[in-house]
Amino acid sequence: VIWMTQSPSLLSASTGDRVIISCRMSQGISSYLAWYQQKPGKAPELLIYAASTLQSGVPSRFSGSGSGTDFTLTISCLQSEDFATYYCQQYYSFPPTFGQGTKVEIK
């Protein structure tokens, strides 16, 4: 099983801020990493796959980078609708695993 450490677990930020969320793997996964956004009471939504490819319809202020064991999700200019919880997920090997989540809250 590949373990994931996502940090921080809670991030307080203001609209317009640049936000960076980190995800570290217990072993290399090449670029088989996805990022999801989840709002309260809703299903997760895919933001980024293959570590850095933006899913269709996702605003360009979201970007992903990294390969191997270290990955980041960056929101370049936080908007009000971006306050949510973010999860990373590896799909390099079974079982696919998720990070613990990062809640982005209003400062």
Give the interface with another protein as residue ranges (CB under 8 A): 32, 34, 36, 42-46, 49-50, 55, 87, 89, 91-101
Q: Specify the residue, 5 or 15, whose C-beta has the smaller distance to another protein.
A: 5
User: Got the DSSP string for 40-81?
Assistant: TTS--EEEEETTTEEPTT--TTEEEEEETTEEEEEESS--GG
* Nearest approach, Cβ of residue 28 and another protein (Å): 15
Q: Tokens 């370049």 appear where?
A: 76
Q: Specify the residue, 15 or 93, whose C-beta has the smaller distance to another protein.
A: 93
* Nearest approach, Cβ of residue 24 and another protein (Å): 16
* Nearest approach, Cβ of residue 93 and another protein (Å): 7
Q: Specify the residue, 75 or 87, whose C-beta has the smaller distance to another protein.
A: 87
Give the whole-angstrom CA distance, residue 71 versus residue 48.
12
Q: Tokens 């973010």 appear where?
A: 86
Q: Which residues contact 46 (CB under 8 A, 6 or more apart)?
A: 34, 35, 36, 55, 58
* Nearest approach, Cβ of residue 16 and another protein (Å): 28
Q: Specify the residue, 18 or 28, whose C-beta has the smaller distance to another protein.
A: 28
